[in-house]
Amino acid sequence: MPASPPHDPTLLAGGTGGPRALRPLVDTVFTALTDGAAARCGPLPGGGPDGVARRVADHGTPVLPEQGHGAHDALRELVYVLAEGAADPADPHCAAHLHCPPLAVATAADLAASALNPSMDSWDQAPAASALEERVAAGIGALVHPSGRDPDALVTTGGTESNLIGVLLAREVHGRRLRLICGADAHHSAHRAAWLLGLDTPLVLPTPRGVLDPTTVDEALAGLDALECPSPRPPTPAVVFATAGTTDTGAIDPLGALADVVAAHRPTRAVTLHVDAAYGGPLLFSDRHRTRLAGVERADTVTLDLHKLGWQPVAAGLLTVPDRTALAPLAHRAEYLNADDDTEAGLPDLLGRSLRTTRRPDILKIAVTLRALGRRGLGELVDAVCAAAHQLADLIEAEPLLRLRARPGISTVLFRPQNATDAQVAAVRRGLLHEGHAVLGRARAVDPATGHPALWLKVTLLNPHTQESDLHGLLKLVLDQHQHQHRHQRQERDPRR
Amino acid sequence: MPASPPHDPTLLAGGTGGPRALRPLVDTVFTALTDGAAARCGPLPGGGPDGVARRVADHGTPVLPEQGHGAHDALRELVYVLAEGAADPADPHCAAHLHCPPLAVATAADLAASALNPSMDSWDQAPAASALEERVAAGIGALVHPSGRDPDALVTTGGTESNLIGVLLAREVHGRRLRLICGADAHHSAHRAAWLLGLDTPLVLPTPRGVLDPTTVDEALAGLDALECPSPRPPTPAVVFATAGTTDTGAIDPLGALADVVAAHRPTRAVTLHVDAAYGGPLLFSDRHRTRLAGVERADTVTLDLHKLGWQPVAAGLLTVPDRTALAPLAHRAEYLNADDDTEAGLPDLLGRSLRTTRRPDILKIAVTLRALGRRGLGELVDAVCAAAHQLADLIEAEPLLRLRARPGISTVLFRPQNATDAQVAAVRRGLLHEGHAVLGRARAVDPATGHPALWLKVTLLNPHTQESDLHGLLKLVLDQHQHQHRHQRQERDPRR
């Protein structure tokens, strides 16, 4: 790499001089990103955790030198090693998790957020950013709750925080006796929210078909007080935690029917409906798939996560409500940020819009993406990954050595080599990871053929540019890895072969 | 502005092609940042909240168009209006809050984090990023706890989350009867943490001199059980929440003496010490100021915030511990992220390093900054802002129309026009904000002259490039604004003037 001209490492990113200071550094970043990706030459680095840790140590020692090494050196070394050692979701063979490849336009917008560094806890740290958030949050709230009285959304760090706030709002309305009711397939953050908030452990309902059964929820609500003796008065309040797009299979709970059940219990019990649509929420952008979320608009709180099916760099979480007055329990005072006389004089009070204080304007990249692509453009990306999942399912069904678990929920496909054990399935995944050939996920889910849980390879397709040839290649990698391990095991059993 | 060539808005930021897709978009961002800053021509936009909201609506409507407007249009419009409507901490007259101007080198590094989009919840989403975090977190832990057994740090969204986790760790060790004890000047997030975690409201001790008095804390611990009747057995557990750098004045609690008090109570009561060093922590980089934090190394948990005195774009929060085994209560299982057999096979388990699941690698910009500037380079920036605060205090003391409250704690200076009422002080601040001339903070703190609380103008100096002429200019703005309002008020009382 050619040496870059010396750069005063104390230059700032803001002001009229910021872009001048940033430009040569960004060039160094681009070179390091390009070189790192080329050196990796695959979806992730080979060699497993030890190899990666060694290279990070080589490039990043010491962590805190006495004398600085300069801006270009630091960016060159550390961005290079991060890129060379990335699991890059822009590679179609990196398809394990709800871990999306971000759009270039969203990433470029995020650079502006870093450079200007607005902090969303008071107007005088983020005048335009807070005005933008107000407008865009209302727009997203209206997308989810089109007939809501005054829809709004909070910007969060992701589904985990959105779920936490959803449960917190229910706790603040209904009190600390609140019981969370969720299905066995709900995200682990439901449990973590209850733990953090000091609530009883959630009541977990079985989901033999992968989704919450409204009848089971109805019975659970009806029987909730029998869990305590004597039966409490007033009845135990509850929050029903539904899911639109489970992490393991992309399954969508029957939201309309669940909303009916909750509504039916409301005359006799304080109960709210939270929908975790961290994965499935963006189906609302799609003309083809929107109806699959019918009923979501009736939820009291809805989790969205545009760093999943929204192609944003992390973080881009949201929590929508049909009426912003529902957010009142988050109101909070700090003289230095929202003194009464300042609020009366017209300075907006932002502190009740988050559990954080200092807060990055993640709304900017979201706003830029919505405007750049429009609803249709985003809907087409959603359609593309859903179509790719069906294409992959077709290929698996046509391949006698593989077995598809079920047609895909959203863009998630579970499958396994025929006649493999669970240990072999896990080993195939780890083998591909260690060799740097593919990043696949894993999920334990009922095998429809046996009725018993089994371990599956999981492909979560979030890259809208994935081609059929990529999918072919991915299946070939799995088959080769499985065969290779199988042969290796036989050799271990019979060393003469 | 010249038209940019058309750009496919669905291009991705990652892979070898990412930098090619990003470069023209980043050029558009730089142009919009430069033009926006030039149009603002000051530390913040004039016209107050209404004017800013109007311009954001003009540039950002509709929020979600049916058809996309394209990447360049979206970036041009929205980044421009964000820059034009920013309160830019790179301007020396933007000095209200612990809201720092980020370094260009940290901002450039953050772009790489967005483009690669690693997610820190599992190794197979962030191989090198997780290895880097492990090394850098240990290094920062060792800076705070040099003789700790196995120092470590968690990366958080900021001081509020760090304080939450500090209290949470105490709750998990000592149980839900935990009582939080803090001073009247502790950050509001102490109260929010207790609320969120379902604990009793904190016991707030008076701090007439702006810092926690060890004797008062000693008495509070000794008297804790008398608050309940009959006295509980075992005694009520407690977490003492100390502060190294209050938000209002930058005051530092006597950490060594507080650690002594906590140690003295440990034989008879479960009690831990948390230090909120969100502001003051980076004094540790400075040869001149390091000793002011003596005792911090003995805390059980310490909050740092490198998006304050560390010149990082938000977010760059940390929570340090002297021994990583203290983090065990955060351990958490999710089959798809850290299955037992994967962990046994050597895949690192990252889920217990945060309350979040998906998580951006904020460690990258921190690591790049530590390497680029070194300990001495960062220490010099800390020294520079502390020196600027003393310079400002000198200027105020030399100005008969202004009154200094006290010599600065870290880099915070409180002062007010002579003989002004609290309402006038608040109005001066709002007047400067509305006209776009300066962003000053406010703080209610005891007036040493009267012994009663009063409202002060607050200047928090975080821009290391601030010159003496900037400070002169800032004071002139305050005096002019005060005089202008004073004259206006007199005219209102006597319209003939």
**Over the stretch A128-155, which tens digit does the pLDDT of each residue have?**
999 999 999 999 999 999 999 999 999 9
CA distances from B95 to B187, B336, B439 (A): 19, 46, 6
Q: What is the pLDDT of residues A14-25, one digit of tens each?
A: 998 999 999 999
Closest CB from B143, B158, B359 relative to A356: B158
A229 has a pLDDT exceeding 70 = yes
**Which residues are CB-neighbours of A76 under 8 A, at least 6 positions away?**
A1, A28, A31, A32
Tell me how far the alpha carbon of residue A135 is from its chain's centroid: 23
**Residues linked to residue A200 through DSSP beta bridges, in sequence order:** none
Task: With beta carbons under 8 A apart, name residues in chain A contacting B248.
Answer: 336
Complex confidence, ipTM: 0.97
CA distance B67 to B211: 57
Task: With beta carbons under 8 A apart, name residues in chain B contacting A426.
Answer: 339, 341-342
A16 close to B (CB below 8 A): yes
Q: Are B84 and B34 in contact (CB under 8 A)?
A: no
CA of A260 vs chain B CAs: smallest distance (Å): 30
Pairing of strands B152-156, B179-183: unpaired
B432 close to A (CB below 8 A): no
Asked if the structure places residue A1 within a domain, the reply is: no
User: Which tokens hold the place of B263?
Assistant: 């140690």
Domain boundary among B373, B408, B427: B373
Same domain, residue pair A196 and A299:
yes
Averaged over A190-219, what is the pLDDT? 97
Closest CB from A45, A71, A342 relative to B105: A71
CA of A29 vs chain B CAs: smallest distance (Å): 7
Closest CB from B12, B52, B104 relative to A12: B104
Q: Are A387 and A133 in contact (CB under 8 A)?
A: no
Same domain, residue pair B35 and B46:
yes
B344 close to A (CB below 8 A): no
Contact across the interface for A336 and B97, Cβ inside 8 Å: yes
Residues 388-417 of A with CB under 8 A from B: none
Contact across the interface for A346 and B73, Cβ inside 8 Å: no
CA of B344 vs chain A CAs: smallest distance (Å): 12
Question: Can you give the pLDDT at residue B7?
Answer: 83
CA of A208 vs chain B CAs: smallest distance (Å): 18
Same domain, residue pair A279 and A388:
no
Closest CA to B73 of B165, B146, B6, B148: B6
B95 close to A (CB below 8 A): no
Same domain, residue pair B278 and B252:
yes
Closest CA to B202 of B211, B215, B189: B189
Task: With beta carbons under 8 A apart, name residues in chain A contacting B376.
Answer: 66-68
Closest CB from A70, A118, A463 relative to B86: A118
Contact across the interface for B346 and A49, Cβ inside 8 Å: yes
Asked if the structure places residue A382 within a domain, the reply is: yes
Same domain, residue pair A362 and A378:
no
Task: With beta carbons under 8 A apart, name residues in chain B contacting A79.
Answer: 109, 112, 364, 368
Task: With beta carbons under 8 A apart, name residues in chain B contacting A348.
Answer: 49
A3 has a pLDDT exceeding 70 = no
Closest CB from A64, A89, A377 relative to B68: A377
User: Which tokens hold the place of B249?
Assistant: 């004045």
Q: What is the pLDDT of residues A238-248, one digit of tens each?
A: 999 999 999 99
How many C-beta atoms surround the C-beta of residue A497 within 10 A? 8
Band (B487; pLDDT cuts 50, 70, 90):
confident
Contact across the interface for A75 and B372, Cβ inside 8 Å: yes
Averaged over B167-177, what is the pLDDT? 97
Question: Can you give the pLDDT at residue B153?
Answer: 98
Domain boundary among B373, B388, B415: B373
Closest CB from B17, B79, B119 relative to A109: B79
Q: Give the CATH number for residue A368.
A: 3.40.640.10
For chain A, the three-class secondary structure string (H helix, E strand, C coil) is: CCCCCCCCCCCECCCCCHHHHHHHHHHHHHHHHHHHHHHHCCCCCCCHHHHHHHHHHHHCCCCCCCCCCCHHHHHHHHHHHHHHCCCCCCCCCECCCCCCCCEHHHHHHHHHHHHHCCCCCCHHHCHHHHHHHHHHHHHHHHHHCCCCCECEEEEECCHHHHHHHHHHHHHHHHCCCCEEEEECCCCHHHHHHHHHCCCCCCEEECCCCCCCCHHHHHHHHHCCHHHCCCCCCCCCCEEEEEEECCCCCCCECCHHHHHHHHHHHCCCCCEEEEEECCCCHHHHHCCCCHHHHCCHHHCCEEEEECCCCCCCCCCCEEEEECEHHHHHHHCCCCHHHHCHHHHHCCCCCCHHHCCCCCCCCCHHHHHHHHHHHHHHHHHHHHHHHHHHHHHHHHHHHCCCCEEECCCCCCCEEEEEECCCCHHHHHHHHHHHHHHCCCECEEEEEECCCCCCEEEEEEEECCCCCCCHHHHHHHHHHHHHHHHHHHHHHHHHHCCCC
B194 close to A (CB below 8 A): no
Asked if the structure places residue A194 within a domain, the reply is: yes
**Which residues are CB-neighbours of A387 under 8 A, at least 6 positions away?**
none
In terms of pTM, does the model score above 0.95? yes
CA distance B68 to B77: 13
> Based on C-alpha coordinates, what's the Rg of chain A?
25
Asked if the structure places residue B8 within a domain, the reply is: no
Task: With beta carbons under 8 A apart, name residues in chain A contacting B77.
Answer: 371
Question: Can you give the pLDDT at residue A496?
Answer: 61
Q: What is the pLDDT of residues B188-219, one digit of tens each?
A: 999 999 999 999 999 999 999 999 999 999 99
B175 close to A (CB below 8 A): no
- Whole-number average pLDDT of chain A: 95
Same domain, residue pair B481 and B420:
yes
Band (B1; pLDDT cuts 50, 70, 90):
very low
Closest CA to B306 of B387, B253, B362, B361: B362
Contact across the interface for A364 and B26, Cβ inside 8 Å: no
Same domain, residue pair A123 and A255:
yes
Question: Can you give the pLDDT at residue A462?
Answer: 98
Q: Are B354 and A56 in contact (CB under 8 A)?
A: no
Same domain, residue pair A351 and A420:
no
B161 close to A (CB below 8 A): yes
Q: Are A244 and A276 in contact (CB under 8 A)?
A: yes
- What letters, b where the CB count within 10 A reaches 16 and e where it falls short, cover A333-366? ebbbbbbeebeeeebbbbbebbbbbbbbbbbbbb
B222 close to A (CB below 8 A): no
Contact across the interface for B307 and A161, Cβ inside 8 Å: no
Q: Are B133 and B361 in contact (CB under 8 A)?
A: yes
Averaged over A187-208, what is the pLDDT? 97
Contact across the interface for B53 and A444, Cβ inside 8 Å: no
- Whole-number average pLDDT of chain B: 95
CA of A221 vs chain B CAs: smallest distance (Å): 24
User: Which tokens hold the place of B328?
Assistant: 């065990």
Q: What is the pLDDT of residues B88-132, one digit of tens each?
A: 999 999 999 999 999 999 999 999 999 999 999 999 999 999 999
Averaged over B36-55, what is the pLDDT? 95
Q: Give the CATH number for residue B473.
A: 3.90.1150.10
Same domain, residue pair A222 and A74:
no
User: Which tokens hold the place of B228?
Assistant: 């309940």
Asked if the structure places residue A250 within a domain, the reply is: yes
CA distance B394 to B404: 9
B434 close to A (CB below 8 A): no
End-to-end CA separation in angstroms for chain A: 49
Averaged over A67-76, what is the pLDDT? 98
Q: Are B237 and B177 in contact (CB under 8 A)?
A: yes
Closest CB from B16, B77, B131 relative to A56: B131
Asked if the structure places residue B485 within a domain, the reply is: yes
Same domain, residue pair A222 and A175:
yes
Question: Can you give the pLDDT at residue B437?
Answer: 97
A230 has a pLDDT exceeding 80 = no
Give every strand in the sheet of A301-305, ordered side by side: A152-156, A317-321, A301-305, A271-276, A238-243, A179-183, A203-205
Question: Can you give the pLDDT at residue B2?
Answer: 47
Q: How many beta-carbon pairs under 8 angstroms link A with B?
A: 595
Residue A218, class by beta-carbon neighbours within 10 Å (0-12 exposed, 13-18 middle, 19+ buried)?
A: middle
Band (B335; pLDDT cuts 50, 70, 90):
confident
B30 close to A (CB below 8 A): yes
Q: What is the pLDDT of residues A435-453, one digit of tens each?
A: 999 999 999 999 999 999 9
Closest CA to A402 of A303, A318, A320, A474: A474
Closest chain B CA to residue A357: B160
Task: With beta carbons under 8 A apart, name residues in chain A contacting B314.
Answer: 117, 119, 358-360
Asked if the structure places residue A126 within a domain, the reply is: yes
Domain boundary among B373, B391, B424: B373
CA distances from A226 to A171, A195, A229, B463 (A): 21, 22, 7, 61
Task: With beta carbons under 8 A apart, name residues in chain A contacting B37.
Answer: 14-16, 18
Question: Can you give the pLDDT at residue A459?
Answer: 98
AA letter at B379: G
Contact across the interface for B132 and A376, Cβ inside 8 Å: no
Residue A418, class by beta-carbon neighbours within 10 Å (0-12 exposed, 13-18 middle, 19+ buried)?
A: exposed
Q: What is the pLDDT of residues B51-83, one digit of tens each?
A: 999 999 999 999 999 999 999 999 999 999 999
B221 has a pLDDT exceeding 70 = yes
B443 close to A (CB below 8 A): yes
Question: Can you give the pLDDT at residue A63?
Answer: 97
Contact across the interface for B68 and A114, Cβ inside 8 Å: no
What's the domain range around A480?
A: 374-493
Band (A29; pLDDT cuts 50, 70, 90):
very high
Same domain, residue pair A220 and A335:
yes
Q: What is the pLDDT of residues B238-255, one digit of tens each?
A: 999 999 999 999 999 999
In chain B, the number of structural domains is: 3
Same domain, residue pair A307 and A378:
no
Tell me how far the alpha carbon of residue B419 is from its chain's centroid: 32
Asked if the structure places residue B415 within a domain, the reply is: yes
CA distances from A416 to A51, A341, A428, A449, B230 (A): 28, 64, 10, 13, 62
Q: Are A114 and B107 in contact (CB under 8 A)?
A: yes
